[in-house]
């Protein structure tokens, strides 16, 4: 198993450092042959090579089985031309590796349900997985542009999905549902958009191959409403790129803990890029106060989805639950009466829980 580590900018090196300790620990414990390589991405890559996604990083990323990424960006780079901003590194790696399936869990750990903007009883125990198509839809469709028509400017984009694009992401979602509570809700806007009528038709066809998974469909506006009305009704939600962009942010904010949420972006062979959903948090970088748990949980997802080791993924998730129940909190998830520890100490607490 070849893992490439891209620590990136801001708090990236701090949080990835703790996640790497967890990776080392489980590799030794289970006698796994994991080789780790490192490369540059984002602002640090701009500083050292002039480009946010250097050719050497692409080579190493292609050779890896899985990639662990910290975060990229920061105010230092805000004035750079758009094509060499750190975020371009992220877009480039997703595109170059054809990472079309984005998996974003929104999970509320019971000790943290008070952090949500919704009432405790609505979110306690919440555990949703959003499967978002990441390389198609209106973001990439042609034609697109802004042009002069009839004496005024007109802006336009094209929502487009091919049958094969829908089919491959539907398989990912059904298989994710099989590993969970076997319920899949597919999101579309078939009442007005033909592209999403096809989406619904193809997802329904694929369902025939997964008789153990219960499939439902919801229009996107209703889905947005249901997510804040009764989010626990969902198990896996399947969406196209633009609807998923919005709904996955809505779902993650229900948890109230941006420092807790991991993500995976997978290709057709389950090679994956794993990263926390948060950014580089420049306001707290270098202070040893960042929460490393989202990155540690991203390592858990790596074992679940790229290495097919649900047992190790469960071990890591259980270790995180243990440290929360022991009362350990980084600053972002602490309430007044709890003991606040730093990034390194949180990493050590997870190692201790894994060791117990
Ligand atoms: P952010 O997620 O970096 O930070 C938002 C807030 O959450 C900040 O107050 C931050 O301190 C806090 N926070 C985030 N992660 C935390 C953690 N692990 N522990 C404790 N607190 C945490 O979002 P932003 O401030 O809008 O963006 C900062 C930079 O990150 C920008 O340059 C942006 O482009 C970049 N960004 C990168 C990614 C990525 O790498 N995938 C994603 C989003 C934003």
Question: Residue 328 — very low, low, confident or very high, per pLDDT cuts 50/70/90?
Answer: very high
Q: According to the model, what pLDDT value does residue 114 have?
A: 83
Residue 78 Cα: closest atom of ligand 1? 32
Quick one: how far is CA 14 from the chain centroid? 19
Please give the Cα distance from 241 to 101 (Å, whole number): 10
Question: Residue 310 — very low, low, confident or very high, per pLDDT cuts 50/70/90?
Answer: very high
What 3-state DSSP class applies to 86?
Answer: helix
Protein residue with its CA nearest to atom 5 in ligand 1:
281
Structure token digits, residue 341 = 């520890």
Mean pLDDT, range 324-328, rounded to an integer: 93
Query: Any known ligand binding at 180?
Result: no
Q: According to the model, what pLDDT value does residue 116 have?
A: 87
- For the cut 90, the answer to whether the pLDDT of residue 257 exceeds it is no
**Tens of pLDDT, residues 178-219:** 989 999 999 999 999 999 999 999 999 999 999 999 999 999
241 preceded by cis ω (within 30°)? Answer: no
Residues 6+ apart with CB under 8 A from 208: none
Quick one: how far is CA 228 from the chain centroid? 20
Question: Residue 17 — very low, low, confident or very high, per pLDDT cuts 50/70/90?
Answer: very high
Ligand 1 within 6 A of CB of 89: no
> Catalytic one among 245, 267, 331, 344?
245
Q: How far is CA 34 from CA 40, 263, 351, in A?
A: 20, 21, 18
Query: Any known ligand binding at 76?
Result: yes
Please give the Cα distance from 319 to 304 (Å, whole number): 15
Please give the Cα distance from 161 to 240 (Å, whole number): 9
**53 CA from centroid of ligand 1 (Å):** 20
Mean model confidence pLDDT for the chain: 95
**Residue 245 annotated to the active site:** yes
**Tens of pLDDT, residues 53-63:** 999 999 999 99
Q: According to the model, what pLDDT value does residue 10 have?
A: 98
Mean pLDDT, range 23-28, rounded to an integer: 98
Find where tokens 């062979």 sit: 269
- For the cut 90, the answer to whether the pLDDT of residue 6 exceeds it is yes
H helix intervals, 184-276: 194-207, 220-229, 241-254
DSSP string, 288-308: T-S--HHHHHHHHHHHHHTS-
Mean pLDDT, range 70-80, rounded to an integer: 95
- For the cut 90, the answer to whether the pLDDT of residue 130 exceeds it is yes
Please give the Cα distance from 130 to 186 (Å, whole number): 10
Quick one: how far is CA 292 from the chain centroid? 15
Q: According to the model, what pLDDT value does residue 238 have?
A: 98
**Tens of pLDDT, residues 133-149:** 999 999 889 999 999 99
- For the cut 80, the answer to whether the pLDDT of residue 336 exceeds it is no
Query: Any known ligand binding at 81?
Result: yes
Domains defined for the chain, CATH in brackets:
1-105+261-356 (3.40.718.10)
- For the cut 80, the answer to whether the pLDDT of residue 295 exceeds it is yes
| CB half-sphere exposure, 346, CA atoms < 13 A | 35
Question: Residue 234 — very low, low, confident or very high, per pLDDT cuts 50/70/90?
Answer: very high
In this prediction the pTM is 0.91
SS in 3 state form for 14-43?
A: HHHHHHHHHHHHHHHHCCCCCEEEECCCCH
Q: According to the model, what pLDDT value does residue 230 have?
A: 97
Q: According to the model, what pLDDT value does residue 256 have?
A: 81
Q: According to the model, what pLDDT value does residue 91 have?
A: 87
**Residue 65 annotated to the active site:** no
Residue 77 Cα: closest atom of ligand 1? 32
């Amino acid at each position: 198993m070849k893992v490439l580590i891209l620590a990136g900018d801001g708090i990236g090196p701090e949080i990835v450092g703790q996640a790497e300790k967890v990776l080392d620990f489980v590799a030794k414990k289970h006698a796994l042959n994991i080789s780790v390589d490192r490369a540059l991405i984002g602002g640090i890559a701009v500083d050292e090579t002039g480009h946010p996604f250097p050719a050497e990083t692409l080579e190493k990323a292609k050779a890896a089985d899985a990639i662990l990424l910290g975060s990229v960006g920061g105010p230092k780079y805000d004035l750079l031309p758009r094509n060499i901003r750190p975020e371009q590194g992220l877009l480039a790696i997703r595109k170059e590796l054809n990472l079309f399936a984005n998996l974003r869990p929104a999970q509320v750990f019971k000790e943290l349900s008070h952090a949500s903007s919704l009432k405790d009883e609505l979110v306690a125990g919440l555990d949703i997985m959003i499967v978002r198509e990441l390389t198609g839809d209106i973001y990439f469709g042609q034609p697109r542009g802004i042009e002069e028509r009839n004496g005024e400017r007109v802006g336009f984009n094209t929502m487009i999905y091919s049958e094969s694009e829908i089919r491959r992401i539907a398989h990912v979602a059904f298989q994710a549902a099989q590993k969970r509570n076997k319920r899949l809700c597919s999101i579309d806007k078939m009442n007005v958009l033909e592209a999403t009528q096809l989406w619904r038709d193809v997802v329904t066809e694929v369902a025939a191959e997964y008789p153990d998974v219960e499939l439902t469909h919801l229009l996107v506006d209703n889905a947005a409403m249901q997510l804040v009305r009764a989010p626990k009704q969902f198990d896996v939600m399947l969406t196209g790129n633009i609807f998923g962009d919005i709904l996955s942010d809505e779902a993650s904010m229900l948890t109230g803990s941006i420092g807790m949420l991991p993500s995976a972006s997978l290709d057709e062979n389950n090679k994956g890029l794993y990263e926390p959903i948060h950014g580089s948090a420049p306001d707290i970088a270098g202070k040893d106060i960042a929460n490393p748990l989202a990155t540690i949980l991203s390592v858990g997802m790596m074992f679940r989805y790229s290495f097919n080791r649900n047992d190790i993924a469960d071990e890591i998730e259980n270790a995180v639950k243990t440290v929360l129940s022991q009362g350990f909190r980084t600053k972002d998830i602490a309430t007044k009466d709890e003991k606040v520890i730093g990034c390194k100490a949180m990493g050590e607490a997870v190692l201790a829980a894994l060791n117990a």
